[in-house]
Structure formats: C-alpha cells, structure tokens
Structure 1
Amino acid sequence: MLYQYKALSRTGASLSGEMEAANRATVLEDLHQLGHFPIEVKELNGGPGKGRKSSSFFSGMPSSRQITLFTRELGMLLKAGLPLHQALVFLERDAESKSLGRLVGRIGNEIGSGKSLHEALEMQGDAFPLIYSKMVRVAEASGTLETVLERIAQGREKAQKLKSTALSEILYPCLLIVMAIAAVTVMLTFVVPRFKDMISNAGTQIPDQARFVIGASDWLLANWQYLLGGIAAVVLTIAVTWPKIRGEVQTLLLRVPFIGSIIQMNLTIRFCRTLGMLLENGVDLPAAMKLVSDVIGNKPAAAAIDQSYDALRKGRSFLDPLSQSGLFPPVLINMLRVGEETGSLASSLLHMAEVFEEKLERTVERTFTIFEPVIILLVSGIIAFIIVSILSAVISINDLAI
C-alpha cells in the first residue's frame, strides 16, 4: 500500500513524501528508525474501511469520554504498580462498552506481540489523537508513563468539561430560536389565512400592517417548497465546499462581536493547553509547534502557528508571529515572553490555559444570559405584531358594520 507522510527531522526541518509499506505501523516504524518525528501518515490507495477511522458511534469506536476514562484508569493502575499488560487485561474485562473493550483488547494484543504502547496506540486509528501517542512515546522513553497518562487525562477532562459547559449554555437559546421560527410559521400558515377571506371580502381598506402580514402569509404558502429547497441547497453547498471556504468562514466569525471573542479565547486555551502539555512531557519546541498547528482546527490560527514555527527554525522568537496575527491576547504574549526568558514556558502556558478557561466560562455564561431575554422579546414582538395587525383589520370591519 502507498502512504503519504509528514514528519520532522532531528534538526526540526519539515519533511513530506510517499512510502510503500504493508501497513501504517510499518511506515511509522521506518520513520522512527530514520530518526524522524512522524506528524501525519495517510493511506493513499487503501480500500474501503482501511486506514484511520474516525472515533464515532457509527464507526463502532469508543467515544472521546470513554478514551479519557481509559487513560485515567490506566494511569491509576500503572501508578499502583501493575504491569502494563495486566492493567490492560483488567481494563478490557471491566470496560463500560463493547467498543472500548474491543479497543483495549487490540492494544493488549499488540503489547503482547512485542509492540510498545505508543506503537499500539498509533495502530488504533483516530481513537487516539497523534499528540496523545507522541506524548506516550516520550513518556515511555523517560519512564514517566503513569504520570503522563494522568496529565493527558486531566487535559482531556478539562477540555471536555469546557465543551460541555458551552453546549449547555448554547442549547437553550438555540431551542428558543427553533421554537420562535415554528411559532411564526404556524401563525402565518394556519392563523392568518383564517382571517384573510373575512378581511378581504369586507370591502374596507385593509390597514398597511395587516396587508403586510397577509402578503407574507400568501408568499409563504405559495413558495414554502422553494424556500425549503433553497435552504437545503445552501446547506448542501456549504457541506460540499466547506474544505475550500472553511478558512474564510473562520476568519469572518472571528470578526463577529461576542462570537469572535469566544472563538479567540477557545483557540487560546487549545493552543496553551496543547503546547504546554507537549513541552511539559519532553517534546522539543519545534516539534511541539508543528503538532499544535496540525491539531488546532482553525486555519487562521494554524497559519499563524506555522509562521511562528518558521521563525523558530530561523533562530528568531516564535512569539512575534503570534503577536502580529492578532489572534492571541497581548497578555498571553507578554506572559510567554517572561516564561521564555525564565525557562518556564510550559508552566506559563498551562497557567494561562487555566486563566482563559475561567474567563471563557464567565464570558459564555454572560453572553447567552443576555441573548435569552433578547430572543424572547424579539419573538414576542413578532408574534404581537402579527396578532395586532390582524385584530386591527377585524376591528375596522366591526366598526364599519356598526
């Protein structure tokens, strides 16, 4: 099979190319033997279902929460003095799901056949992110596996808690918006048409407000299928062109009030947490920067980190490109400069991640606390406008009859 790879040399130079191998693990092993640090290995001509699979319910892979739980429990068992293979046997037997049990069993089989833990993890597809396996590799070399596993679990737990908090805050406003659209649609398609004939046949002049509401109702009843088709076409177009327009959309969202600041803080947390954990566990700064660029999940931020990586390779400070990008707060840049000068860069990054996590939680809570009454007032205003417009027309008819 043909595989495409990206790696870093011992000097920090970026390498890429293609390699024929029986499987992905062989490519990783060959790169390790050459002294390179693998960043990404993708199968180019594999058959369906081969290569790295996404971790999801439909793929039969454990969830991210289950992987975090596995990491935490494995670290605890190793810290208690159990051998790695025996700890994996216990975790396979007590796994909370069949998918997790199968995954742990596969890891145990690879360990039993002579593979190291990081090699076994790399063979499990996307269940374990590349940063995860690289940190385990460094931990195995330094003899600090149980400590590093606990740190990985702690970092994943914080990220998942932050994500859960944000989703819970967003859920209620989104539900309000959906209910608002449903309420207005029902008013225009079922309520307004009941009064239309009576108002139109009364022979009186229809007030402008009522005429507008009736016109909107008529348009919706006549064109609802085209409206649904247009929405579906827009969604499909976005889905198809997303890889091409993702960077532009992400750049645009960063400029939106409230939303932009939330995205910026989330990027800051991910950058600080990931880079800090890599540095704390022995990964050198150039390799760590390259890994962060690959997993940050935001094209503008990835471009800024790539520029920072290039500056680092040329012997300049990696903080200048980050500062010039405008994506990271000045307080972060200043703190990291101090950490760079004092040799405490990893601890500075992790401290700033904690600071911005607390700030993001407060910002999300306050932002959506403001949005909720605004949405309610807006929906109430629209429905009240429809009702008052129709009632004013009905009242004018009754006045004429009197």
Structure 2
Amino acid sequence: MGKSKKQQKLSNLECASFCSQMTMVLHAGFPAVEGVSLLLEDAKDVQEKAILQVMYDEMINTGLLYPALEKTSVFPDYLLQMVKIGEETGTLDDVMNGLTHHYEREDEIEKSIKSALTYPLIMVAMMIAVIVILLTKVMPVFEQVFRQLGRQMTGFSGGMLALGKTISNYAIVFITIAAVIVGVFVYFVKSSRGRRAFAGFSRKMHLFHGLYDKIAACRFADSLYLTLKSGQNPQKGLEFADELIADKNFSKKIKKCSQKMEEGEDFAAAVGGAGIFEGLYERMLVISGKTGETDETLETIARQYEREIDQRMSSYIAILEPTLVIILSVIVGMILLSVILPLMGIMAGL
C-alpha cells in the first residue's frame, strides 16, 4: 500500500488489498481501529507505515474510519464516500467487501486496457526498428553492389535509399522526435487527464466505441450494486456512478435515468429507458426489481460486462497481431523486391 509520495492516490490494486484486509478484520468481529492497528504492526514499507500511522492516530481521536482515510489524502473519493455510508448505516463490513470486488474489477479492466495497448505498440516499435535497419544498413550495401556493376539505384529503391541516408544524417532529430512521442505516450498512460483525453479520442474511433460503453456500463452496475448493498436509494447510487465513471456520453444517460425516476418511473424502467444496459441485462434488472434482488443482479451484470471486456480486448489483440505482421511483411517485401528485381535483371544481362 506504500506510495513514493503521500499525495498520490493509491492504485486500484492497493485499494483492493486494503479493503480485503479490512473485510477480514471486520468479519472476524474486530472494530475498525483494531484492524488498522493490526495492519500497522504487519506493515513493512515505510510509506505504508506512515499512512497507517496517520489513520490510527485519527481513529484514536474520532473512533471512525472515514475521517482517518480522508486525512491521509491517498484514498479515492469514491472509496471515502462508500466508507462514510457504511459507517452511517452500520454495514461497513459489507461495504468493504463490496469495495474489494469493485477495485479488483477496476484493476482487471485497467490491466486489460494496458495489455491491449502495450502489445500492438511493441509490435509497431519492432516494425519501425526493422524498417530503419533495412533502410540505413542494408540498402547502402545494395547501393555498393549497383555501383560495382556500373548502375545506380533509381525509382522506388532510390527513394528508399535516399530516405535511409536522411535518417542516418539526421539521426539526432529523429531520436528527439521519437523521445517526444514516447513522452506523450507516457503522459497519456500515467496522468488521469491524459487518460481522459485518450479515452475521448479513442471513443470517436468505431473500433473502440463499443468497448468504452461496456466499461462504463460495468462501472455503473458495480457502483449501483455497492450503493444499494449499503442501504442507500438508487438516486444516491446514480450520483456516485456519475462521479465515478466521468464519461460525458454515459453521463447523459445517467442524467436521463435520474430524470425518469424523478418523473415516477421505477429504477429498472428508468435504466432501460435511458439505454444504459443492453436488452438482456435490462430484462434481468426488470425481473430482479420484482423479486427484490436488484443489488445481486447488478453485481452479476458487472461480472458479465467484465468478461465481455476481456473478450473484446482479446479479440482486438487477435486481429491486430496478424495485421501488423502482414503490414511489416509487405513493406519489407516491397523494399527488397525493388532492389532484387533490378539486380537480377542486371545480372542476367551480363
């Protein structure tokens, strides 16, 4: 649970780990302050100890977990609000258990997105490296062969040779450009603002449009499940979901759902009318509303969306891998053929 800077928010995995440990403590019948004390005794990391010490000192004074978590400034706002509700309603153990599953799901989604982005980027980097080596190291060798035969490389092969020489002569410029591109990529990956900007850009691409809708729907179902499980009404859950998802397009659906509920529609009908869930999940929610199992159904829907997200990510990788290999093969093949075919013609005429 340690962080290099106290002000940095904990990662999804760190939040899941903390909530899981607190769940075990609370289910065992220990008060929250005793749980924090146990975690403090077992902590090995210096930063983790510092965070837990701040929490423990605050809990000694207040007896509450929420102000202790808030004082550390490292826990996400959503976790803080849910813990506050759990303490107010006496369902802190259930809330912590629900938060454990929530942040585990968030971590899995984050890993799926990173793996779906990282693998193609590695492939693209390898493609660029192969092409650069071909242009800067291999093409000059063919140029020497042509010169020894009294010929010059022209046309497409000549253009590739000129490009290779340009890359060699201005290597520092190209390296600088590459470093800037890498820096921009790291910014998009590491900063929340960058991730939001990238998400907004990729949503406009047809390939990723459905994916982000599924991620938002998964988070919506998970958020509503937690809120209802803690004893709050669906309207409160919609507010939390809107803050958690932070997606402009999905936010419109949430506001539409809230408006329909204010007009008298029940929760399931409002969700369906707002277009938040797809047909099957909408019907599941309607039936659960009649049987009084809405919270359990929302958890089931969240798990199903998580599986669909994983499948969609896997399908993207399955499509991109052969596509990139084919593109690389075509480019390399064109460059080599542009040299080898004229060379074979020259050799045949000797």
TM over 0.5: yes
Q: Does 1:72 align with 2:20?
A: yes
Q: Give the deviation of 1:76 after TM superposition.
A: 0.9
The answer to whether structure 1 residue 149 and structure 2 residue 96 are counterparts is yes
| Pairing 1:359–2:308 present | yes
Aligned to 1:261: 210
Contact 2:116 2:316 in 1 (8 A): no
Structure-2 separation of matches of 1:346 and 1:135: 15
1:291 correspondence with 2:240: yes
Matched, 1:350 2:299: yes
Q: Deviations over 1:372-397 (max 9, x none)?
A: 22222322232232223222343344
Shift of 1:284: 2.1
- Aligned identity (percent) is 20
Decide which moves more: 160-169 or 113-122: 160-169
Tell me which amino acid in the other structure corresponds to 1:355.
Answer: Q
Q: Contact conserved, 1:77 with 1:87, CA < 8 A, in 2?
A: yes
What letter corresponds to residue 221 of structure 2 in structure 1?
A: C
> Does the 8 Å contact 2:86/2:92 carry over to 1?
yes
Q: CA offsets, 1:165-213, max 9 Å, x none?
A: 4544554333222111111112112222333354367554746442342
Indicate the residue corresponding to 1:304 in structure 2: 253
1:391 is aligned to 340
Runs of at least 5 residues in structure 2 that lack an aligned partner in the other structure: none
Relative to the length of structure 1, the TM-score reads 0.72
Contact 2:40 2:49 in 1 (8 A): yes
Which of 51, 76, 85 is residue 129 of structure 1 equivalent to?
76
Report 1:89-168 matches (<5 A): 89-125=37-73, 127-168=74-115
Higher helix share: 2
**Matches of 1:66 and 1:322, distance apart in 2:** 32
Q: Out of 198-207 and 75-84, give the one that drifted further.
A: 198-207
Contact 2:27–2:93 (Cα < 8 Å) also in 1: yes
Q: Root-mean-square deviation (CA), in Å?
A: 3.5
Match of 1:182 in 2: 129
Q: Is the 8 A contact 1:207 1:393 kept in 2?
A: no
Which residue number in structure 2 is paired with residue 280 of structure 1?
229
Q: Which runs of 5+ in 1 are unaligned?
A: 1-54
Aligned residue-pair number: 345
Alignment match, 1:83: 31
2:284 pairs, out of 313, 335, 344, with 335
Which deviations, in whole Å up to 9, do the C-alpha atoms of 1:29-49 show, x marking residues without a partner? Answer: xxxxxxxxxxxxxxxxxxxxx
With over 3 angstroms needed to count, the CA separation of the structure-2 counterparts of 1:212 and 1:356, relative to structure 1, is same
> Is the Cα contact below 8 Å between 1:56 and 1:63 reproduced in 2?
no
For 1:306, give the aligned amino acid. Answer: K
Question: With structure 2 as the length reference, what TM-score do the two structures score?
Answer: 0.82
Residues 129-170 of structure 1, C-alpha deviations (whole Å, 9 max, x = no match): 222122222222232222221221122223323433454455
Q: Contact between 1:118 and 1:137, CA under 8 Å: does it hold in 2? A: yes
For 2:275 and 2:344, locate their aligned partners in 1 and report how far apart those are by CA, in whole Å: 58
Note if contact 2:33-2:59 (Cα within 8 Å) is conserved in structure 1: yes
Shift of 1:109: 0.6
Where relative contact order (Cα < 8 A, 6+ residues apart) is larger, the structure is 2
CA distance in 2 between partners of 1:112 and 1:101 (Å): 16
Aligned residue identity for 1:69: S
Partner SS, residue 103 of structure 2: helix
Q: Which amino acid aligns with 2:336?
A: I
C-alpha change, 1:178 and 1:236, in structure 2 (3 Å) is: closer
Distance 1:248 1:92 in 2: 38
